[in-house]
């Protein structure tokens, strides 16, 4: 279950943010898919959590937006994490037409539980 947070600059249009919110759950799921957590293409509530946050008055960033992804550590994910994030960057750029952004993929040792 990836957690995705997008921090965006004031000049980023609402349409771009809406588009990100639409495409990120699938694209992130593809990017972090692994044998331990396969992705069947059928996202359910709680599978991917996406949160948006505008830059604050004291934040500093040279990019239009930064996408931070946290997904549970598995060796199969960690082994090729740079390749995964590079492909994800290309997929997001193709889907949105944007190029002035960054992606930070973090794979912490973690656990997840949720109710029905």
Confidence bin at 1 (pLDDT 50/70/90)? confident
| pLDDT tens-digit series, residues 24-38 | 999 999 999 999 999
φ, ψ at 51 (rounded to 5°): -130, 140
Give the CATH number of domain 3-106. 3.30.429.10
- What is the model's pTM? 0.92
Nearest to 64 by CA among 6, 4, 12: 12
Sequence-ordered list of residues with C-beta below 8 angstroms from that of 101, at least 6 positions apart, any chain: 63, 64, 65, 66, 67, 89, 92
Cα torsion angle, 44, 115, 78, 36, sign: negative
| Tokens read off for 94 | 């193709």
**Residue boundaries of the structural domains of the chain:** 3-106
**Residue % of the chain over a pLDDT of 90:** 88
CB contact at 8 A, 59 and 10: no
Give the Cβ contact number of residue 101 at 10 Å: 21
| pLDDT for the residue numbered 45 | 86
| pLDDT tens-digit series, residues 55-69 | 999 999 999 999 999
- In the predicted structure, residue 15 carries a pLDDT above the cut 80: yes
């Amino acid at each position: 279950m990836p957690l995705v947070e997008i921090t965006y600059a004031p000049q980023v249009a609402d349409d771009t943010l809406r588009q990100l919110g639409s495409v990120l759950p699938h694209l992130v799921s593809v990017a972090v898919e692994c044998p331990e957590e396969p992705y069947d293409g059928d996202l359910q509530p709680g599978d991917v959590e996406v949160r948006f946050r505008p830059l604050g008055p004291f934040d500093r960033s040279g990019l239009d937006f930064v996408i931070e992804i946290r997904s549970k550590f598995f060796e199969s994910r960690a082994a090729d994490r740079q390749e995964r994030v590079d492909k994800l960057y290309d997929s997001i750029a193709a889907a949105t037409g944007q190029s002035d952004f960054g992606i930070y993929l973090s794979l912490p040792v973690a656990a997840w539980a949720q109710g029905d």
